[in-house]
Amino acid sequence: MNPDHDRRSRLLGRDVLRLGTTGLRARPTRAVLSALGIAIGIAAMIAVVGISSSSQAKLQAQLSALGTNLLTVQPGQNLFGEAATLPTNTVGKVGLVDGVEQAGSAAVLNGVLVYRSSLIDRASSGGLGAAAVTESLLDVVGGTLATGEWLNRATASYPAVVLGSKAAERLGIATVGSMIQLGDQYFTVVGILDPLDLAPELDTTVMIGETVAAERFGYDGKPTTVYERSSDERVEAVRELLPRTVNPAAPEEVEVSRPSDALAAKQAADQAFTGLLLGLGSVALLVGGIGVANTMVISVLERRREIGLRRALGATRGHIRSQFLTEALLLSALGGVAGAAIGTGVTSVVAAVNDWPTAVPPEVLLAGVGATLVIGAIAGLYPAIRAARTPPTSALSG
Amino acid sequence: MTETMTASSAAAGRPAGPPIIHLEGVTREYGEPPTLALAGVDLTVEEGEFVAIVGPSGSGKSTMLNVIGTLDRPTGGTARIAGSDVGRLSDAKLSALRAYRIGFVFQQFHLADGSTTVDNVADGLIYAGVPRAERRRRAVVALERVGLGHRLGHRPTQLSGGERQRVAIARAVVGDPPLLLADEPTGNLDSVSGASIVELLHELHEAGTTIVVITHDAELAARLPRQVAIRDGRIVSDSGLAA
């Protein structure tokens, strides 16, 4: 044997890992309990991020299905604080704006109340309103029919009515063919809409054609809301142009809004809450790290003899240090992986309950487990240094 | 020191290398104010010797074992172990000395209860960078050498005290160190088991290992070729020198 060859103490990488597990295997309960702190912290953070991103994924899917290119035009107030009106040919003008692909309008018919039949008390109109709408409205707001048909050029001239989803519910109508009263006149239900996410105001409205509205209720052709869709890249430009196009004399009396902004605002509110929960999760993680450090310090004190023995077997201080550092890393990685699994599980349960897609960003999982390794390294450093300083004579002096 | 060489009968007939243990005026102080555990010890052990260091508790014999085993450094004097000056070596060099040149046997065995005898013995090679399969193979050989070939898969808790000490001895010799240090190896054993351990140490000595046994048991010491008596940190008699 060449004495120069075996001059140095050596510890193979595999063995460092193996030694790192000895303490954990010797006291599994303690290992599990001290990893639990880290697991809870990571689980909380991943669940918070996962739930928030799952609900966002749902919202994104919703927004992309609904489109963010719908703008509404409504009359505002004039300089004296009085309610303004939109001009009669607003839909036509909007349709001329460069980039506008579809336009439609609804005009709430003031004073026209809706009743199931003539037997209903006149005071109980159920909060429903009637509106004269253009035939193009359904496509513009992306509406779909639960049953029956939308208004067409023929039915727009006759006493035919399409119900919003809530209006149908309140009137107790589920099939077409029923008669309802608008004011004192009977109209036949020809269709019922599904709920409209971007135009929820239409859900409580019963809709009739403009022609029949003009004939029977004296509709003056001035819409109360104009709905418009353009190509996505033209939305902002169209938004700028709309007030002056609709009412060149008084563009300040025209209000343009984007219904999808309301949904996005809800998302921003969720994110503020997420930030708070993330803060709580990181406190849990910190406490978990302190737990690991504590366990490791106790472990080092208890294992003085083992350390002494290892020094007698030829371990250098560095070998002892890396053994205990590895143990701390494994301990917190154990917590991290368990926490990531728990967090993902919680996310998928919450997502399933709310009918969201489960979306845990992989980079969040990686960051979570990575954070536990950093915590393990910091938590293990001091105990490992203490272990390395344990005098080699400890195996004998017991 | 040349007297020592001629006087030590066990070294006779062996190639005359440097002494494996060479203590010169070694002192070791502890604490503040300092108490003297070793008060100037001169001792030379040649390769192939079998020495008992005997003394009552508190005599300084444990400190001496620590110094010889390079677990502790002298505060004064020089200690040369296997040719290296212990006081001048770095932690890494001292660790290497222990990994390759010195085997330890402890009174309390210091075995891992959760591991099999083979894995316990294989641990003796872990800091020599020997891969696990090779460690285990050599551990089996070492266990057979100490007569425990039939106890390979057992755990220490399933073994008698004498068998446990054999496992510990197998761990100490698995790397074939030239020097074996035993601290009260029979201290926790009944007389029959103790006698068989002494017998085993004799066999290892026959095979060429230098062995130093630390004990307070004068009876055990009397059965070894050379006795060094220590009291109050000083050597009071040395049969090697007297012979």
- Indicate if the pLDDT at residue A195 is higher than 60: yes
Position A395 pLDDT exceeds 80 = no
Q: Over chain A, what is the mean pLDDT?
A: 87
Cβ contact, residue pair B106, A395, below 8 Å: yes
Question: Would you state the pLDDT for residue B205?
Answer: 95
User: Which pLDDT score, from 0 to 100, does residue A267 have?
Assistant: 67
CATH code assigned at B200 = 3.40.50.300
Distance, in Å, from the CA atom of A327 to the CA atom of A384, rounded to the nearest integer, reads 9
Distance CA A176, CA A190 (A): 5
How many residues comprise chain B? 243
Residue B235 lies in a domain: no
Residue B236 pLDDT: 93
pLDDT of the residue at B9 = 43
For the cut 80, the answer to whether the pLDDT of residue A326 exceeds it is yes
Give the residue numbers spanning the domain of B223.
Answer: 47-74+86-227
Please report whether residue B2 resides in a domain: no
Contact present, A313 and B126 (Cβ < 8 Å): yes
B71 and chain A: CB distance < 8 Å anywhere?
Answer: yes
Q: A23 CA to chain B: closest CA distance, Å?
A: 10
Give the closest-approach CA distance of B242 to chain A in angstroms. Answer: 30
Closest alpha carbon within chain A to B185? A396
What are the residue ranges of helices labelled H in B8-56? none
B188: distance to nearest CA of chain A, Å?
Answer: 14
- Interface contact flag, B129 A12, Cβ < 8 Å: yes
Phi, psi torsion values for A89, nearest 5 degrees: -100, 30
How far does chain B reach from its first CA to its final CA, in angstroms? 14
* Three-state helix/strand/coil letters over A43-71: HHHHHHHHHHHHHHHHHHHHHHHHCCCEE
pLDDT in tens, A132-144: 999 999 999 888 9
Chain A, nearest residue to B99 by Cα? A314
Nearest Cα residue to B130 out of B100, B151, B154, B110? B100
* Bridge partners, B41 (sequence order): B26
Lowest-confidence segment of A10-14, A38-42, A65-69, B179-183 by average pLDDT: A65-69
Contact of B127 with chain A, judged by CB distance below 8 Å, is answered with yes
Helix (H) or strand (E) segment spanning residue A255: strand A254-257
Q: Is residue B70 part of a domain?
A: yes
pTM of the predicted model as reported, rounded to 2 decimal places: 0.73
Tell me whether residues A313 and B62 touch, CB distance under 8 A: no
Residues of B with CB below 8 A from A9's CB? Answer: 92, 95-96, 98-99, 127-129
Does A119 score more than 90 pLDDT? no
Q: Does B183 touch chain A (CB under 8 A)?
A: yes
- Give mean pLDDT, residues A230-241: 86
Q: Facing residues of A97 across strands?
A: none
Could you tell me if residue B117 is inside a domain?
A: yes
**Predicted confidence (pLDDT) at residue A22 exceeds the cutoff of 50:** yes
Q: Which of A22, A308, A313 is nearest residue B99 as measured by Cβ atoms?
A: A313
Q: What is the 3-state secondary structure (H, E, C) of B47-101?
A: CCCEEEEECCCCCCHHHHHHHHCCCCCCCEEEEEECCEEHHHCCHHHHHHHHHHC
Task: Find the mean pLDDT for residues A303-315.
Answer: 93
Nearest CA in chain A to B114: A26
Residue B21 domain-assigned (yes or no): no
B126 in A contact zone (CB under 8 Å): yes
Which H or E run contains A109? strand A100-115
**What percentage of chain A reaches a pLDDT higher than 70?**
96
Segments in chain B below pLDDT 70: 1-16, 241-243
As a whole number, mean pLDDT of residues A262-282 equals 74
* pLDDT recorded at residue A188: 94
Q: In angstroms, what CA-CA distances link A374 with A18, A285, A333, A380, A382?
A: 20, 11, 9, 10, 14
B134 class by beta-carbon count within 10 Å (0-12 exposed, 13-18 middle, 19+ buried): exposed
Does the distance separating the beta carbons of B62 and A395 come in below 8 Å? Answer: no
Q: Is residue B20 part of a domain?
A: no
Tell me how many domains chain B contains: 1
3-class secondary structure, B230: strand
Cβ contact A396–B183 (<8 Å): yes
Q: Is residue B24 a part of any domain in this protein? A: no
| Per-residue model confidence as pLDDT tens digits over A277-301 | 778 878 888 888 888 888 899 989 9
* Chain A contact set for B171 (CB, 8 A): 313
Q: What pLDDT sits at residue B16?
A: 61
Collect all residues from A whose CB is shorter than 8 A from any CB in B.
6-12, 14-15, 18-19, 22, 25-26, 305-306, 308-319, 391-393, 395-398
CB–CB of B127 and A396 under 8 A? no
- pLDDT confidence of residue A397: 60
Residue from A2, A7, A9 to probe the interface with B (highest B Cβ count within 10 Å)? A9
Q: Which residues of A touch B91 (CB under 8 A)?
A: 316-317
Q: Do B62 and A314 touch (CB under 8 A)?
A: no
User: By the 8 A CB rule, do A335 and A372 touch?
Assistant: yes
Q: Between chains, do A22 and B112 touch, taking CB under 8 Å as contact?
A: yes
Q: What pLDDT, in 10s, does the model give residues A122-179? A: 887 778 889 999 999 999 988 899 999 999 988 889 999 999 999 999 999 999 999 9
Tens digits of residue pLDDT in A331-378: 999 999 999 999 999 999 999 998 888 888 888 888 888 888 999 999
Q: Scanning the structure block, which residue is given the tokens 């020191």?
A: B1
Question: B189 in a domain, yes or no?
Answer: yes
By CA distance, what is A7's nearest residue in B? Answer: B96
Q: Which residues does chain B have within 8 Å of residue A396's beta carbon, measured at their own beta carbons?
A: 62, 65-66, 71, 106, 183
Residue A4 has pLDDT above 80, yes or no: no
Q: Which residues of A touch B95 (CB under 8 A)?
A: 9, 311, 314-317, 319
Q: In what order do the strands lie in the sheet with B210-215?
A: B102-105, B179-183, B210-215, B50-54, B226-231, B234-238
User: B119 — contact with chain A (CB < 8 Å)?
Assistant: no
Q: Which of B62, B66, B127 sits opposite A315 (nearest CB)?
A: B127
Contacts of B30 in chain A (CB under 8 A): none
Q: What is the pLDDT of residue A1?
A: 43
Predicted-assembly ipTM surpassing the 0.85 threshold? yes
